[in-house]
């Protein structure tokens, strides 16, 4: 049945066929009522709720004494104190012991005919060998390791080897520039970098070792680089520092015992954009993060033992961490490691992979869905008979894309879960539970266990109760997988998340709650934009542009984009009022690509003679946004501009085109 075509009411969860029963089943009481009861328990008695879930989902080498300590107000939360566990043991060993031949990783290479499959037994062996290599390079418990790799199984092995020996991984998306890589390596004080000679995506190769070499010119602390040979290309080599992955791992034995870690020991760092220029190293801790990953995998995605999970995210972002690696492996299922792009060699690639590997769960950002929807339904081939859950992440999914996902991709047989969360939340915070809670196209729906959302008035910080309300989204209670700090900058952590509204975690997003209690996520309230599901701060792009010697001032704002969701547009003034040439324009784009990475390049650049500024010199980006949206008649009060005539000239510049 296609409940969607029956009107705009919620789609009931029991509209979907399920080979086995959902974890949260209908047991006389409806699954939705059961969700509500469990959610209420998780809020009223978090200690008991999370204590029992943590023992149920993870294997602890020492049980914890206390479930939670600290408060949002003080920003000193810790979970599962006294507990000891190892993340790698939980992801690999326990499954390798129970089910050695079960498939853990399914590598689908950029070239459709290539790839390989690793069982849990294989995975344990390869992780152990790499663990020895890291130790041999001097990596000790608590040390940070930088990972700058394409989506190959070795990248997942790298994460697991780090956490096996108690090292903290810091994955840097392999699309970041050498400058960005350098800053992240230095901020985290990494001594070892794991990379590949080249990466492959969409039929193209990228010389990523070359980018590492450039970054390391200014990273004096790095002593070793391990290079996975992905292609046959030769690369520049620094003897003593550089080592070929394939040569060194085979020297080591197949087993090394996992390190005993405290629940609050750091698991990983992941840099993300903040509203100021400098990226933040978000720190996650071992016990709490793993509980969040496993719990959301089990209840939001309703993962069962025999499932094959395909998350299209890159391990360079949080989605790849939690849902390519940790959640599926903690639950002992098979996870697809996809190296390529959805359009290569043709727009059927995702659907081919789903059929080839009997995928049950598919999880991707709306930007990819928009692109595929636009390419035409004729590419959505295959029967996708095993598909049970279709997830969306990273940005709001428009109702018509949601419906396309449901009707064309899922053939009305799979449940859509629009999952709202952030690098900082570690795992889903607002999302439907597949098979258990109803959905509405475009709504992230209901809070996950332990999440107590509040809609606040941005100006007063007052909570807005009731239905049909809108404001900023905050959470009233701590949950296990929330980030513990910003690496080396706890004050910044407090300022960004916990101080804006005392006693709450502030998400930075706007949201509304409708008459049925569904939450709808609006968009960022700060200067962060979302391009193809990638978080970029406009301040960071401005800082990159201003570094160019020709640029006097820069203001970057977001515009809507059919494919990428949002795109950035830069308004610049040049020094000495010089005229813009095509060369200068190209150079400025290159400047952003070089400083941050190709994905951050502005879509358009307008060179103007002045920016709209208040008398105190503050750039009024709101005016620029309105002009770009063609809403010149709704500029609002421009009387505070130091030179109101600048508006007319900017309108003319935009009309003339970039």
Burial profile 198-214: b = 16 or more Cβ within 10 angstroms, e = fewer: bbbbeeeebbbbbbbbe
Q: Distance between CA 515 and CA 526 in Å, rounded? A: 27
Tell which residue, 472, 468, 473, 471, has the closest CA to residue 514: 468
Q: 524 - beta bridge partners?
A: 509
Q: Distance between CA 261 and CA 91 in Å, rounded? A: 14
Q: Distance between CA 397 and CA 336 in Å, rounded? A: 23
The interface mask with ligand 6R9, positions 21-40, x = CB under 6 A, is: --------------------
**Could you give the angle at which helices 31-44 and 46-57 cross, rounded to 10 degrees?**
110
The residue of the chain with the least Cβ separation from ligand 6R9 equals 423
Q: Which of 318, 414, 478, 620 binds ligand 6R9 (CB under 6 A)?
A: 318
Identify the burial level of 41 via C-beta atoms within 10 angstroms of its C-beta, where 0-12 means exposed, 13-18 middle and 19 or more buried: middle
Distance of CA 198 to the CA centre of its chain: 23
Tell which residue, 283, 258, 259, 264, has the closest CA to residue 64: 264
The interface mask with ligand 6R9, positions 522-551, x = CB under 6 A, is: --x-----x----x----------------
Q: Which of 521, 531, 605, 650 binds ligand 6R9 (CB under 6 A)?
A: 521
- Of residues 244 through 273, those in contact with ligand 6R9 by CB under 6 A are 272
- Cα of first residue to Cα of last residue in the chain, in angstroms, is 49
Q: Distance between CA 154 and CA 245 in Å, rounded? A: 9
User: Looking at beta carbons only, is 318 or 472 nearer to ligand 6R9?
Assistant: 318
The dihedral sign for the CA sequence 585, 605, 567, 352:
negative
User: Looking at beta carbons only, is 526 or 610 nearer to ligand 6R9?
Assistant: 526
- Of residues 346 through 405, those in contact with ligand 6R9 by CB under 6 A are 393-396
User: Looking at beta carbons only, is 344 or 599 nearer to ligand 6R9?
Assistant: 599
Q: How far is the CB of 91 from ligand 6R9 (least distance, A)?
A: 20
Q: Map residue 69 onto helix, strand or coil.
A: strand
Q: How far is the CB of 282 from ligand 6R9 (least distance, A)?
A: 8
Q: Which stretch binds ligand 6R9 (CB under 6 A): 229-237, 416-424, 481-489, 542-550?
A: 416-424
The interface mask with ligand 6R9, positions 589-628, x = CB under 6 A, is: ----------------------------------------
Q: Distance between CA 110 and CA 578 in Å, rounded? A: 45
Q: How far is the CB of 522 from ligand 6R9 (least distance, A)?
A: 8
Number of residues that bind ligand 6R9 (CB under 6 A): 22
317 part of the interface to ligand 6R9, by CB under 6 A: yes
User: Looking at beta carbons only, is 420 or 571 nearer to ligand 6R9?
Assistant: 420
Q: Which stretch binds ligand 6R9 (CB under 6 A): 70-78, 137-145, 350-358, 414-422?
A: 414-422
Cis bond leading into 575, ω under 30°? no
Q: Please tell me the total number of residues recorded for the chain in this structure.
A: 658
Q: 416 - beta bridge partners?
A: 390
Q: How far is the CB of 3 from ligand 6R9 (least distance, A)?
A: 21
User: Looking at beta carbons only, is 115 or 453 nearer to ligand 6R9?
Assistant: 453
User: Looking at beta carbons only, is 129 or 507 nearer to ligand 6R9?
Assistant: 507
Q: How far is the CB of 444 from ligand 6R9 (least distance, A)?
A: 5
Q: Which stretch binds ligand 6R9 (CB under 6 A): 45-53, 316-324, 476-484, 600-608?
A: 316-324
User: Looking at beta carbons only, is 154 or 540 nearer to ligand 6R9?
Assistant: 540
What is the CB neighbour count within 10 angstroms for residue 1? 11
User: Looking at beta carbons only, is 262 or 439 nearer to ligand 6R9?
Assistant: 439
The interface mask with ligand 6R9, positions 498-517, x = CB under 6 A, is: ---------xxx--------
Q: Map residue 416 onto helix, strand or coil.
A: strand
Q: Which of 64, 299, 405, 421 binds ligand 6R9 (CB under 6 A)?
A: 421
Q: Map residue 557 onto helix, strand or coil.
A: strand
Q: How far is the CB of 474 from ligand 6R9 (least distance, A)?
A: 12
Collect all residues with Cβ–Cβ distance below 8 Å to 148 and sequence separation of at least 6. Answer: 171, 172, 174, 176, 181, 193, 194, 195, 208, 211, 212
Q: How far is the CB of 418 from ligand 6R9 (least distance, A)?
A: 5
Tell which residue, 620, 618, 611, has the closest CA to residue 650: 611
Q: How far is the CB of 419 from ligand 6R9 (least distance, A)?
A: 5
Q: Which stretch binds ligand 6R9 (CB under 6 A): 23-31, 222-230, 415-423, 590-598?
A: 415-423
- Site residues, ligand 6R9 (CB under 6 A): 272, 317-319, 393-396, 418-423, 444, 507-509, 521, 524, 530, 535
């Amino acid at each position: 049945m296609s409940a969607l075509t029956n009107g705009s009411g919620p789609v009931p969860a029991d509209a979907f066929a399920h080979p086995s029963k959902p974890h949260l089943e209908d047991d006389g009481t409806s699954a939705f009522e059961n969700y509500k009861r469990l959610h209420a328990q998780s809020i009223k008695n978090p200690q008991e709720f999370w204590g029992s879930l943590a023992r149920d989902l993870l294997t602890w080498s020492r049980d914890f004494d206390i479930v939670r300590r600290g408060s949002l107000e003080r920003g000193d939360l810790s979970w599962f104190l006294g507990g000891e566990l190892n993340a790698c043991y939980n992801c690999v060993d326990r499954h390798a012991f129970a089910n050695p031949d079960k498939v853990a990783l399914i590598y689908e290479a950029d070239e459709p005919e290539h790839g390989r499959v690793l069982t849990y037994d294989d995975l344990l062996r390869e992780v152990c060998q790499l663990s020895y290599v890291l130790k041999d390079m001097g990596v000790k418990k608590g040390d940070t390791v930088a990972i700058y790799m394409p989506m190959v199984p070795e990248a997942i092995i790298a994460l697991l080897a780090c956490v096996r020996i108690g090292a903290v991984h810091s994955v840097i998306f392999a699309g970041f520039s050498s400058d960005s890589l350098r800053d992240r390596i230095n901020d985290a004080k990494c001594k070892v970098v794991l990379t590949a000679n080249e990466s492959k995506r969409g039929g193209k190769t990228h010389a990523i070792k070359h980018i590492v070499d450039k970054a390391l010119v200014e990273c004096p602390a790095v002593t070793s680089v391990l290079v996975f040979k992905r292609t046959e290309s030769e690369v520049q080599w620094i003897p003593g520092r550089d080592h070929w992955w394939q040569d060194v791992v085979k020297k080591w034995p197949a087993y090394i015992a996992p390190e005993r870690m405290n629940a609050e020991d750091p698991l990983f760092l992941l840099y993300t954009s903040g509203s100021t220029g400098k990226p933040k190293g978000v720190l996650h801790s071992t016990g709490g993060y793993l509980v969040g990953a496993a719990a959301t995998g089990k209840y939001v995605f309703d993962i069962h033992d025999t499932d094959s999970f395909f998350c299209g995210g890159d391990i360079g972002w949080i989605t790849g961490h939690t849902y390519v690696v940790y959640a599926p492996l903690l639950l002992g299922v098979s996870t697809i490691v996809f190296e390529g792009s959805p359009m290569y060699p043709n727009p059927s690639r995702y659907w081919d992979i789903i059929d080839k590997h009997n995928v049950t769960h598919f999880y991707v950002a709306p930007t990819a869905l928009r692109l595929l929807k636009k390419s035409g339904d004729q590419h959505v081939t295959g029967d996708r008979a095993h598909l049970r859950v279709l997830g969306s992440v990273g940005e709001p999914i428009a109702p018509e894309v949601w419906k396309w996902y449901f009707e064309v991709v899922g053939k009305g047989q799979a449940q859509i879960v629009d999952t709202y969360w952030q690098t900082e939340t570690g795992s889903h915070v607002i999302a439907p539970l597949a098979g258990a809670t109803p959905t509405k196209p475009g709504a992230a729906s209901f809070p996950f266990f332990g999440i107590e959302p509040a809609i606040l008035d941005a100006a007063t910080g007052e909570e807005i109760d009731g239905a049909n309300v809108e404001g900023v989204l905050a959470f009233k209670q701590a949950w296990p997988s929330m980030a513990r700090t910003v690496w080396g900058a706890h004050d910044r952590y407090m300022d960004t998340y916990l101080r804006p509204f005392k006693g709450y975690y502030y998400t930075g997003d706007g949201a509304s709650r409708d008459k049925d209690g569904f939450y709808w996520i609006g968009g960022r309230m700060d200067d962060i934009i979302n391009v193809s599901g990638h978080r970029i701060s406009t301040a960071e792009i401005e800082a990159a542009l201003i570094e160019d010697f020709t640029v006097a001032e820069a203001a970057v704002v977001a515009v809507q984009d059919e494919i990428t969701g949002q795109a950035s547009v830069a308004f610049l003034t040049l020094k000495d009022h010089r005229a813009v040439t095509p060369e200068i324009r190209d150079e400025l784009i290159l400047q952003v690509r070089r400083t941050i990475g190709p994905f951050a390049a502005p879509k358009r650049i307008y060179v103007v003679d002045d920016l709209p500024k208040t008398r105190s010199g503050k750039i009024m980006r709101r005016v620029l946004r309105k002009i770009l949206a063609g809403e010149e008649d709704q500029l609002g009060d421009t009387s505070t501009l130091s030179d109101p005539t600048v508006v007319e000239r900017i309108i003319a510049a935009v009309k003339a085109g970039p």
